[in-house]
C-alpha cells in the first residue's frame, strides 16, 4: 500500500481552560485513526493555540500558514486531515475554505464523513455546514451562560468581578475562591476597601462639582496642589501613563462611576463584534468595547463595599452633568465613521502621546489636545492645539517608502539599517540611566506619599512631589522616544526582512485606505509629528527586526492650513 503524506490541522481555544498538549494529542490521535488504515501518515502539523473558533482561517496564524502552503508545489503533503471539524470550522467558514482545497487539488479528510470530503456530495456539504452551525451555537450558548452567571454574581452576591480597583479603593483579600477547583489552585477572592488618601480626593471631587466647579477647574486645582493623579498614585499598574497631571477625562470618569456609592455595578460596557471590512465579510469580525446606557447596568442589591459618596449626591452629580451638556452615564457612540489611514500610528513630538483622528472640512486631520485634556499647572510646555492633515503625510510617506525599498537602492538601505543598529547600541547606556532615574523617582514618590499620610506638612510634601514628578516625566519621555533594544541582525537577516517588506510596499500606491492602514501596521510604521519644525519623523519596526528611522522627506512637511495650523498660544 502506497503511503499518503498528510498535514494535520487542529485548534485549541485558550490555555486557561484547556491543556493545549492534551487537546492536540487527542485531535491528532483521532486523525491518525482515520488515515492510518488507508496508508496515511502525518508529515506536517498546523495547530493554533488561544485562537477563537470565530476567527477566520486567514487570520489564524497556523491555519493561514496551511493555506499558504497549499500554494507551494513542493509542500511535502498530498492531503489534509482534521481530527475535530467542530473546532476547525465556525459558521460559514467551511464554505469559504473548502474551495481553496478544491482549487489546489488537496483532499480534506474528516472523521465525520469517514474519509475525504467530496465537494460535490450534498450529504458531505450538509454535514460540514451543520458542524459549523453547531460550533457557532455552542459559542453563543457559552456566552449567554457566562453573562448570566456574572450578572447574578454582581446583583445577588455583590462579588468583586476582577480588574483594577477604582481610584479611591484598593484590593483586599476576601478568602478562598468560591470555585473549589480554583481554590485548590490557590486562587483567592477579593473585595474593595478604602484607600483613605485617594478616597478623600474622590469625595472632594464630587463636592467641588456639586458646588459648581467644572471638570477642568477641578483638574487644575488638584494638579496645582500636588495631588498625584490616579496613574501617579498607582504607578505600578499604570506604567503606560506619565502621571504628570490630572486630566479632565479622569475627573469625568470618577464622577460618572457608580461604584463610589458602595454598590457593585456591572455591564457598563459591552463587547460588540463588528465586521472588519463590510466589503469583505470573509475577514470576519473584530471585538469593540462600547458603552451601555444606565438602564442596562446591573447593580448589586446591597451595599457591598465602603461608599465614598451617597446615592443622592451621585444622582445629583449626574443630573448636573447632563444639564451642562455632558454625559450622564457613559460616552456617546459616534454616529459617523471615517477612515483614518494613520490611526494609532502618529504621535505628537511635544508630549509623545498618540494624536487623535479628527474629520474637518471633508478631510482627515490628526490632533493633540494635551493642554485641553490635562491641567496646565505642570512643567510641560505644549502648544494649545497641534493639527496636521493626513493628505500632507500619506503621499510623501508612500514615496519615501517606495524609494527606500526600491530594488536599485537595496545596498544603500541596508547600509542605513546596519548603521541604525549601531546608533541604537551606542544609546543603550543612556536608556539604562533613564530607567535607573525612573526607579529612583518612584521610590522617592512612595516615601513622600508615606510622609504625607504620616502627617507631614502638605505644602512641603507637595513641593517634593512636584520636583520628583518633573524628573520622572523627563525619564519616561526618554524611554518612550527610544525603541526597545533588540538583537542585532546580520546584513543577510536584514536583506531577507527587506525583501518581505518590499513586497508590501509595492502595494501601497493602489491600496484602498483600509488595506493601506493594515500595510502600515504590518510595516511597523510609527510617525512623530514635531509641530515646532513641522516635520514628521518616521520609524519602521517589524515584529522581529528593527528597521531604523529617518525623516520622511528631505524638505519636511509643508506648513498646515493657517485656519487649522499649529497654535503656539498658551
Over residues 19-65, the pLDDT tens digits come to 788 888 999 999 999 999 889 999 999 999 888 888 889 888 899 99
554 pLDDT more than 50? no
> 262 and 314 share a domain?
yes
Beta bridge partners of 550: 538
Closest CA to 259 of 307, 193, 313, 329: 307
- List, in sequence order, every residue forming a beta bridge with 274; answer none if it has no partner: 286
Residues 316, 242 within the same domain: yes
pLDDT in tens, 333-376: 444 467 788 888 898 887 777 888 888 878 888 988 777 777 66
Whether 221 is in a domain gets the answer: yes
Same domain, 37 and 11: yes
Q: C-alpha grid cell for residue 181?
A: 477547583
- Integer Cα distance of 232 and 229 in angstroms: 5
Same domain, 253 and 315: yes
Neighbouring-strand partners of residue 265: 299
Q: Are 294 and 361 members of one domain?
A: no
Nearest-angstrom CA–CA distance, 447 and 464: 10
Give the residue from 266, 244, 243, 246 showing the smallest Cα distance to 254.
246
The tens digit of pLDDT for each residue in 448-488 reads: 777 777 777 777 777 777 777 777 777 776 666 554 444 55
Strand partners, 160: none
Lowest mean pLDDT among 88-97, 117-126, 128-137, 297-306: 128-137
CATH of the domain at 113: 3.40.50.1390
Cα separations (Å) of 488 from 50, 315, 421? 30, 58, 6
- Chain center to CA of 434: 26
Residues 305 and 347 in one domain: no
Same domain, 405 and 437: no
Is residue 332 within 8 Å of 351, Cβ to Cβ? no
Distance CA 36, CA 541 (A): 46
- Strand 386-389 to 525-530 pairing: unpaired
Number of structural domains, the chain? 4
DSSP 328: S
Angle (CA) 558-407-550 rounded to 5° is: 35
Locate the DSSP E strands across 195-268: 265-266
Task: Let me know whether 27 and 173 are in one domain.
Answer: no
Domain extent at residue 539: 338-425+486-570
Amino acid at each position: 500500500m502506497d503511503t499518503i503524506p498528510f498535514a494535520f490541522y487542529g485548534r485549541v481555544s485558550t490555555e486557561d481552560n484547556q491543556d493545549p498538549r492534551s487537546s492536540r494529542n487527542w485531535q491528532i490521535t483521532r486523525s491518525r485513526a482515520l488515515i492510518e488504515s488507508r496508508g496515511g501518515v502525518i508529515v506536517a502539523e498546523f495547530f493554533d493555540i488561544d485562537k477563537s473558533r470565530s476567527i477566520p482561517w486567514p487570520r489564524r496564524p497556523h491555519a493561514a500558514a496551511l493555506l499558504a502552503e497549499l500554494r507551494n508545489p513542493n509542500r511535502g503533503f498530498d492531503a489534509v486531515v482534521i481530527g475535530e471539524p467542530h473546532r476547525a470550522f465556525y459558521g460559514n467558514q467551511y464554505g469559504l475554505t473548502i474551495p481553496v482545497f478544491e482549487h489546489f487539488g488537496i483532499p480534506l479528510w474528516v472523521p465525520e464523513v469517514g474519509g475525504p470530503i467530496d465537494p460535490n456530495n450534498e450529504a458531505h456539504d450538509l454535514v460540514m455546514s451543520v458542524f459549523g452551525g453547531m460550533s457557532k451555537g455552542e459559542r453563543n450558548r457559552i456566552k449567554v451562560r457566562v453573562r448570566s452567571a456574572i450578572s447574578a454574581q454582581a446583583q445577588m452576591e455583590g462579588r468583586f468581578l476582577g480588574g483594577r480597583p477604582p481610584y479611591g479603593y484598593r484590593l483586599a483579600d476576601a478568602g478562598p475562591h468560591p470555585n473549589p477547583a480554583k481554590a485548590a489552585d490557590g486562587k483567592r477572592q477579593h473585595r474593595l476597601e478604602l484607600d483613605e488618601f485617594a478616597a478623600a480626593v474622590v469625595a472632594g471631587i464630587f463636592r467641588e462639582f456639586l458646588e459648581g466647579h467644572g471638570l477642568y477647574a477641578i483638574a487644575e486645582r488638584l494638579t496645582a496642589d500636588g495631588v498625584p493623579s490616579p496613574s501617579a498614585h498607582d504607578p505600578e499598574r499604570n506604567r503606560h501613563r506619565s502621571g504628570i497631571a490630572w486630566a479632565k477625562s479622569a475627573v469625568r470618569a470618577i464622577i460618572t462611576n457608580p461604584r463610589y456609592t458602595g454598590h457593585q455595578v456591572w455591564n457598563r460596557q459591552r463587547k460588540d463584534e463588528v465586521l472588519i471590512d463590510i466589503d469583505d465579510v470573509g475577514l470576519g469580525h473584530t471585538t469593540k468595547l462600547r458603552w451601555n446606557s444606565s438602564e442596562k447596568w446591573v447593580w448589586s442589591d446591597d451595599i457591598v463595599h465602603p461608599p465614598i459618596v451617597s446615592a443622592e449626591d451621585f444622582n445629583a452629580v449626574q443630573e448636573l452633568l447632563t444639564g451642562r451638556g455632558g454625559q450622564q452615564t457613559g460616552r456617546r457612540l459616534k454616529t459617523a465613521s471615517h477612515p483614518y489611514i494613520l490611526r494609532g500610528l502618529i504621535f505628537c513630538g511635544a508630549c509623545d502621546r498618540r494624536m487623535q483622528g479628527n474629520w474637518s472640512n471633508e478631510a482627515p486631520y490628526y490632533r493633540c489636545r494635551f493642554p485641553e485634556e490635562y491641567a496646565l499647572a505642570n512643567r510641560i510646555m505644549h502648544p494649545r492645539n497641534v493639527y496636521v492633515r493626513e493628505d500632507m503625510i500619506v503621499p510623501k510617506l508612500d514615496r519615501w517608502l517606495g524609494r527606500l525599498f526600491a530594488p536599485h537602492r537595496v545596498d544603500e538601505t541596508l547600509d542605513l539599517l546596519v548603521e541604525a543598529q549601531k546608533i541604537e547600541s551606542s544609546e543603550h547606556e543612556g536608556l539604562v540611566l533613564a530607567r535607573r532615574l525612573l526607579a529612583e523617582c518612584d521610590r522617592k514618590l512612595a516615601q513622600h506619599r508615606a510622609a504625607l499620610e504620616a502627617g507631614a506638612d502638605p505644602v512641603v510634601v507637595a513641593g517634593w512631589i512636584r520636583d520628583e514628578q518633573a524628573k520622572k516625566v523627563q525619564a519616561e519621555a526618554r524611554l518612550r522616544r527610544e525603541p526597545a533594544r533588540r538583537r542585532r541582525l546580520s546584513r543577510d537577516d536584514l536583506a531577507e526582512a527587506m525583501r518581505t517588506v518590499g513586497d508590501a510596499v509595492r502595494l501601497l500606491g493602489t491600496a484602498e485606505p483600509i488595506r493601506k492602514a493594515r500595510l502600515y501596521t504590518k510595516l511597523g510604521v510609527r510617525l512623530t509629528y514635531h509641530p515646532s519644525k513641522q516635520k514628521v519623523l518616521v520609524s519602521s519596526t517589524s515584529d522581529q527586526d528593527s528597521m531604523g528611522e529617518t525623516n520622511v522627506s528631505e524638505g519636511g512637511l509643508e506648513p498646515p492650513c493657517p485656519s487649522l495650523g499649529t497654535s503656539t498660544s498658551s
